[in-house]
Amino acid sequence: MVYFAIYTARIVAEVYWRRVILKSDMQSVMAVRRRWAQRVLYGVGVRVETSGTPPDFPCLVLSNHRSYLDPILLLRDMYAYPVAKAELANWPLIGKGARWAGILYVQRDRGASRVSTLKAIADVIQEQGFSVILFPEGTTSGLPGLLPFKKGALRTATKWDLPVVPVAICFEDPRDYWVGNISFIAHAAQRFKDREIRVRVCYGQAKTYQDSDLLETEVRQWIEKQLSDNAHPQTLNLRPELS
């Protein structure tokens, strides 16, 4: 946990220097964040196995959501804007650093914020040339399958003809799921005590859709199949409290 905090503080300072002082382009700043994601995960004991090929082109990445580690796991593989709840902006270090390195904050209880974020997703992919990472369940879950998807981003993908790449994040140990009322600090302190946290990240093939219902059906089926194929025996009987 100490390593995570110290190294993150160092990288946030570098991101600030490059983005705010030097006015570096966004890809250069994202390269710093990508280096941070790779090193901080390894430093806290996360061992990642990758299946499939991470996208190297602008697309909408749709993934299941297990943990606060999920966006870091994906940012280690790509230059992208994650979509996150607005409350993250107030987190020490991470909130400011994320804004400088590229993120889309959304206030889920405000319709205008949701609408502007959906338009921003299309702009980032089509105009800026970066991917967008979205967790369509809207919250973390430890269920064997997926929670219902939020519909807005799915409709945005079909409206703007955005390539969609499904991703399944499969933790070996259900204790890595961030569910219930435990705080980020408390959960991270518990899990980073272990020497290793093992996770498999599965990337699917890109596809465009004209129908949002078909998009949801196919993405859901693909992710749930990966979760089932990679399920640890403990996970099959898990009944977590959802956040």
Residue 51 lies in a domain: yes
CA-wise closest residue to 21 among 90, 128, 100:
100
The rounded distance, in Å, linking the Cα atoms of 217 and 62 is: 13
Instruction: Answer whether residue 242 is part of any domain.
Output: no
Query: pLDDT tens for residues 192-221?
Result: 888 899 999 999 999 999 999 999 999 999
Residue 243 forms part of a structural domain? no
Contact 189, 1 (CB under 8 A): yes
Q: What is the pTM of this model?
A: 0.90
- The CATH code of the domain that includes 83 is 3.40.1130
Degrees to nearest 5, angle at CA 31 with 28 and 33:
120
| Choice among 39-53, 79-93, 126-140, 145-159 with the minimum mean pLDDT | 79-93
Predicted local distance difference test score (pLDDT) of residue 233? 61
CA distances for 89 relative to 21, 23, 72, 145, 155, angstroms: 21, 21, 16, 29, 26
Place of tokens 């996150």: 84
Residue 110 is given by DSSP the state -
> Is position 59 within any domain?
yes
Indicate whether 201 belongs to any domain: yes
Instruction: Answer yes or no: are the C-beta atoms of 203 and 51 closer than 8 Å.
Output: yes
Query: Is 50 exceeded by the pLDDT of residue 241?
Result: no
**Range 120-131 average pLDDT:** 96
Give the residue from 148, 166, 156 showing the smallest Cα distance to 62: 166
Residue 131 forms beta bridges with which residues?
80
Torsion of CA 138, 143, 148, 153, to 10 degrees: 40
pLDDT at 210: 95
pLDDT in tens, 56-72: 999 999 999 999 999 99
232 in Cβ contact with 200 (< 8 Å): no
Number of domains in the chain: 1
Task: Flag whether pLDDT at 188 surpasses 80.
Answer: yes
Domain that holds residue 61: 2-236
Q: State the pLDDT at residue 202.
A: 98
**Could you identify the residue written with the tokens 């105009």?**
127
d(CA 124, CA 170): 27
pLDDT of residue 112: 66
Each residue's pLDDT tens digit, 59-116 = 999 999 999 999 999 999 999 999 988 888 887 777 888 989 999 988 765 656 678 8
The secondary structure of residue 85, as a DSSP letter, is E
